[in-house]
Structure 1
Amino acid sequence: MPAATLPAPARTQGSDFAPLLRQVKEHGLLRRRRGWYARSIAFNLLALAAVITGVALLGHSWWVLLLAAPLAVFTSRTAFVGHDSGHAQIAESRRSNKLLGLFHGNLLIGMSYAWWNDKHNRHHANPNHIEKDPDVGVGALVWTQEQAAERSGFARWLTRNQAWLFFPMLLLEGFALKVSGWQDLRRQSGRERLVEATLLAAHVALYVTLLLLTMSPGKAIVFALVHHALFGLHLGMAFAPNHKGMEMPDGTGERWGHLQRQVLTSRNVRGGLVTDWFLGGLNYQIEHHLFPNMPRPHLRRAQPLVRDYCESVGLPYTEAGLVDSYKQGLLHMHDVGEPLRVG
């Protein structure tokens, strides 16, 4: 069931993507930006170090809770680096990107790089596909009325009210992401599992040690709760506007080419440099999905090329303001639960 009513474009063949790809390559937009990433990573690490120093200095006071907010922001910035490394946007070699991902994901924020990559790559291959995209599978939330009809008990109540509960539930996402990484160790094997588990355990040890050495146990628990709640909220706010409320292909979508599959299921968020920074470049979701290995600073430059090309081939190119993008996603979730409220 499509989640949004869009004009039906002419069927797009896979070859329709080739002219756009050629333009992007001619503009050099797939070239690596190692200097840009080096500066961004260095700034983020210095910012994290500054916040951690502040935690150590203020740990004796409840004022330390104010630092949970900037720590959440720069933890999210760290996650964005892990995301980019998973897409091979940063370095040329697969090994270098993986090392960057393990360092930023597993060690610095305690989120499994292997788990995230496996899940996220499946999402990119079939965005919003009801059966193939793990991001629209049945979980705490559901995304189609067919999924909603199968709910019972507490899950049914949750679905009826999921639009109202969405942002409060994001406060739990920081914990859920870490738990999912630990659970994924069962899927992994050999050296990968050993490396992932060691780095995840090292993160937990370092995080707990920092808090317990600088503040009382009660204060440490409150700080960790606030930090992870804000971290989950920030990440959720970055990812939520991108696909919710857009087309949700099923069997029909199997015939779509790359261009149609990525453009019709994605939504861009309008904004300036502050929006780019806060959302980690994910506001250029259409460009990111069409060219997942494009370095983040090139997405803004690619946007007019992609928008003009979509217009030339009659393909709807969806953009919205930040608030409106959230509104569209929430309205979709509200509509999904409508039959349960009527019944």
Structure 2
Amino acid sequence: MAISDVKEYAHLTPEEVEALGAEFDAIRRDIESSLGERDAQYIRKVIRLQRALEIGGRTVLFVSAFRPAWVAGTTMLGLAKIIENMEIAHNVMHGQWDWMNDPEIHSVAWEWDNTGPSEHWKHTHNFLHHKYTNVLGMDDDIGYGVLRVTRDQKWRPFNIGNPVYNLVLQLGFQYGFAIQHLELGKVAKGRVDREEFARKRRVVLAKIGKQVGKDYVFFPLLTGPSYVSTLTANLTANMIRNVWSNVVIFCGHFPDGAEKFTKSDVDSETPGEWYLRQMLGSANISGGPLTHFMTGNLSHQIEHHLFPDLPSNRLAEAAVRVRALCEKYDLPYTTGSLPAQYFKSWRTIVKLSLPNKYLRRTADDAPETASERMFGGNAVATINPVTGRRRGLRTARVERQSIRRGAGRPISHQ
């Protein structure tokens, strides 16, 4: 089962959870109080770079009939779309730059280069996903209504197609964003007001029409005799962006260690418990400056979920302090390289295409989600009498993994 008692699972007392929350609040206050011109220059430079890449790419595609020009133009346009969606639009729509009071870079005004309407995405993502992160039955991003990504989701014959569905979802990820807010599953069950659904559908179809017209009609026609090659270049650039976005998002939410939760206690959780759930339900991607930039700094997914409206360029700074708090409270800090995190996500998707009876682990101690029951009720933190250090969730998980691998005895917390 998914985690129902986050405090018990994390080996923290209520007092420790609130103390942890206060320390997270301090990180937020420190960064917010230091925001200034350096940060404003950063986002403006990113926007200039993105626009230069898009203009350059579309200009080169005027001669896209020549193969080298097609490759160069497609690459530039694909990069421009990634940067616009990941480092600019996603973060602007989170309100990360609202403090600048710049109408051009404000969450209310930004409409992104994507078939999903911004107003819809801000509800499904900013509100539902970030408030109810990885809470089964409340966060639609858990499998996007298509994929089975935890044993707590009941297996149905439909799930046998998990790997195929994910491939399709990758290639057309922007259309997944577009229809997510329509809640088609609820529509099929008659649980959505028809007039409201019709209104949302009109907004979605209008945005899809705008994007299709721009990328597959207007700009290709603008290049005249290069129409067909420019059209394929635009299609390829969109697919590059779609696949990359899918990879980054899945690496942040579905690798081993990104936990899932039940909805039994979420409505009564304290701010400290919310912070704790965000941290336990997210995973980071390790890498250098280029990796962080091209992921929209969602390589710092843990920090983004803790502080979703802090500017993305400051998340690396926050990460240093968040890791230190994980050390202090002996909590896991889930991170790994992009290939490793992506492999684990795919492994989960492939495994869970099968019924639970064919899987080795139970719903309590599966690598893609665990529960407090995996510790047999022994979820109380202790102090190592030799080192004087706290023994909490991270040490307990390492010890359990050591025993499972045949080491024969728990390791000590050094």
Q: Give the TM-score taking structure 2 as reference length.
A: 0.69
**Counterpart residue number, 1:226:** 236
Question: Structure 1 residues 264 and 253 mapped into 2: Cα distance closer, same or farther (>3 Å)?
Answer: farther
Tell me the distance in 1 between the aligned counterparts of 2:297 and 2:199: 33
**Counterpart residue number, 2:11:** 9
Question: Structure 1 residues 69 and 143 mapped into 2: Cα distance closer, same or farther (>3 Å)?
Answer: same
The farther-off stretch of 290-299 and 62-71 is 62-71
**Counterpart residue number, 1:248:** 260
How far residue 306 of structure 1 moved from its aligned partner, in angstroms, is 0.9
Tell me the distance in 2 between the aligned counterparts of 1:338 and 1:183: 25
**Counterpart residue number, 2:400:** none
1:13-66, Cα deviation, whole Å (9 max, x unpaired): 45531223214423557725222111111111111111111112x133455542
Tell me the distance in 2 between the aligned counterparts of 1:228 and 1:278: 15
Tell me the distance in 2 between the aligned counterparts of 1:187 and 1:86: 23
| 1:284 partner SS | helix
Say what the alpha-carbon RMSD is for the aligned residues. 3.4
**Counterpart residue number, 2:372:** none
1:289-309, Cα deviation, whole Å (9 max, x unpaired): 111111111101111111111
**Counterpart residue number, 2:213:** 205
Gaps in structure 1 of 5+ consecutive residues: none
Alignment match of 1:77 (pick from 78, 83, 95):
83
Matched, 1:86 2:89: no
The farther-off stretch of 251-260 and 320-329 is 251-260
* Paired positions, count: 327
Contact 2:285–2:341 at 8 Å: present in 1 too? yes
**Counterpart residue number, 2:136:** 130
Question: Structure 1 residues 340 and 259 mapped into 2: Cα distance closer, same or farther (>3 Å)?
Answer: closer
Tell me the distance in 2 between the aligned counterparts of 1:218 and 1:170: 24
How far residue 144 of structure 1 moved from its aligned partner, in angstroms, is 2.4
| 1:238 partner SS | helix
Matched letter for residue 161 of structure 2: L
| 2:347 partner SS | helix
Alignment match of 1:26 (pick from 26, 30, 33):
30
How far residue 272 of structure 1 moved from its aligned partner, in angstroms, is 1.1
Matched letter for residue 325 of structure 1: Q
Which protein has the larger Cα radius of gyration, Structure 1 or Structure 2? 2
Contact 1:284–1:300 at 8 Å: present in 2 too? yes
Instruction: Give aligned-pair identity as a percent.
Output: 20
Matched letter for residue 81 of structure 2: T
Question: Structure 1 residues 260 and 182 mapped into 2: Cα distance closer, same or farther (>3 Å)?
Answer: closer
Question: Structure 1 residues 50 and 42 mapped into 2: Cα distance closer, same or farther (>3 Å)?
Answer: same
Question: Structure 1 residues 251 and 210 mapped into 2: Cα distance closer, same or farther (>3 Å)?
Answer: closer
**Counterpart residue number, 1:278:** 294
How far residue 136 of structure 1 moved from its aligned partner, in angstroms, is 0.7
**Counterpart residue number, 1:157:** 160
Q: How does 1:109-124 map to 2 (within 5 A)?
A: 109-121=114-126, 122-124=128-130
Question: Structure 1 residues 29 and 136 mapped into 2: Cα distance closer, same or farther (>3 Å)?
Answer: farther
The farther-off stretch of 173-182 and 287-296 is 173-182
Tell me the distance in 1 between the aligned counterparts of 2:197 and 2:2: 32
**Counterpart residue number, 1:331:** 347
**Counterpart residue number, 1:313:** 329
Question: Structure 1 residues 264 and 244 mapped into 2: Cα distance closer, same or farther (>3 Å)?
Answer: same
Tell me the distance in 1 between the aligned counterparts of 2:350 and 2:262: 21
Matched letter for residue 248 of structure 1: K
Tell me the distance in 1 between the aligned counterparts of 2:351 and 2:25: 37
Structure having the higher helix fraction is 1
The farther-off stretch of 18-27 and 181-190 is 181-190
The farther-off stretch of 10-19 and 79-88 is 10-19
Tell me the distance in 1 between the aligned counterparts of 2:211 and 2:249: 24
Per chain length, whose mean CA-contact separation is higher, i.e. which structure has more relative contact order (CA < 8 Å, sep 6+)?
Answer: 1
Matched letter for residue 88 of structure 1: G
Contact 1:31–1:294 at 8 Å: present in 2 too? no
Tell me the distance in 1 between the aligned counterparts of 2:198 and 2:11: 41
| 1:320 partner SS | strand
Matched letter for residue 156 of structure 1: N
**Counterpart residue number, 1:47:** 53
Q: Give the TM-score taking structure 1 as reference length.
A: 0.82
| 1:210 partner SS | helix
Contact 1:268–1:283 at 8 Å: present in 2 too? yes
1:162-188, Cα deviation, whole Å (9 max, x unpaired): 2x7745641222443356579999659
Contact 1:260–1:315 at 8 Å: present in 2 too? no
| 2:22 partner SS | helix
The farther-off stretch of 226-235 and 196-205 is 196-205
Matched letter for residue 157 of structure 1: I
Tell me the distance in 2 between the aligned counterparts of 1:182 and 1:42: 34
Contact 1:112–1:182 at 8 Å: present in 2 too? no
